[in-house]
Amino acid sequence: MISQTSVQRLKEMISSSNNIVFFGGAGVLTESGIKDFRSADGIYMMDYKYPPESVLSHTFYTKHTEEFFDFYRKYLCFPDAKPNSAHYKLAELEKQGKLKAVITQNVDGLHQRAGSKCVYELHGSALRNYCVKCGKFHDFDFVYRSQGIPECECGGTVKPDVVLYEESLDSDVIEGAVNAIANADMLIVAGTSLTVYPAAGFIRYYSGNNLVLINKDSTEKDDDFGLVIHGKVGEILSKT
């Protein structure tokens, strides 16, 4: 049961902040009907011929490219996904001039579809795909509708602009996200197990005292937060 006192406190913090930053993960997607990774019913918990988390690595991509794309199209591509109340609330707060940036670990572009303008995609985006040979851009559908290994007209493999394990994050995105967090007067962290680095480490750049966690399950970092609400982020943000 969500504590109404906590939601009221969250509402007050949001109304008195004008430089809010949101840091989110796959838990923001579950209210759009998309599985996260580490919940009991998450993608990494399922039986698969390989350990699912190992498939999303650069090594696996290079050694088992076709298998990688089969998994990627099946479990990381959501052609019918729609923004949910969390996405829309954040876009509304940005429009009101209260929220300055969304920092997401997700790769689905739903924050932008909901209207958010300043979005830092720490792990890239499935909406951007590039030929490894000639660099040509290909859209989401090109990869999603391909069979086997998606191939550019030039014969090169078309690789999603998604950060796999063993790959580095984009330095401009890192800089933007760190600056946004460092300047924020309120940081709302939601829908993330805070287990994957360097992303999870970005929280330490926040120096204010309006640090909030909204997460269905508890995390190892709960004690670092001034306010922790265990519940659904879309539902909770809709009440603020």
- Minimum separation from the CB atom of position 107 to ligand APR (A): 8
- Minimum separation from the CB atom of position 176 to ligand APR (A): 17
Q: Of all residues in this chain, which one has the CB nearest to ligand APR in the complex?
A: 27
Cβ closest to ligand APR, residue 125 vs residue 152: 125
SS (HEC) of the chain: CCCHHHHHHHHHHHHCCCCEEEEECHHHCHHHCCCCCCCCCCHHHCCCCCCHHHHCEHHHHHHCHHHHHHHHHHHCCCCCCCCCHHHHHHHHHHHCCCEEEEEECCCCCHHHHCCCCCEEECCEEEEEEEECCCCCEECHHHHHCCCCCCECCCCCEEEEEECCECCCCCHHHHHHHHHHHHHCCEEEEECCCCCCCCHHHHHHHCCCCCEEEECCCCCCCHHHCCEEECCCHHHHHHCC
Q: Please give the residue ranges that form the binding site for ligand APR (CB under 6 A).
A: 25-27, 30-31, 36-39, 42, 53, 56, 105, 123, 190-193, 195-196, 214-217, 232-233
Cβ closest to ligand APR, residue 139 vs residue 217: 217
- Per the residue annotation, which of 58, 64, 111, 123 is the catalytic one? 123
230 catalytic? Reply is no
- Minimum separation from the CB atom of position 118 to ligand APR (A): 19
Cβ closest to ligand APR, residue 140 vs residue 202: 202
Active site residues: 123
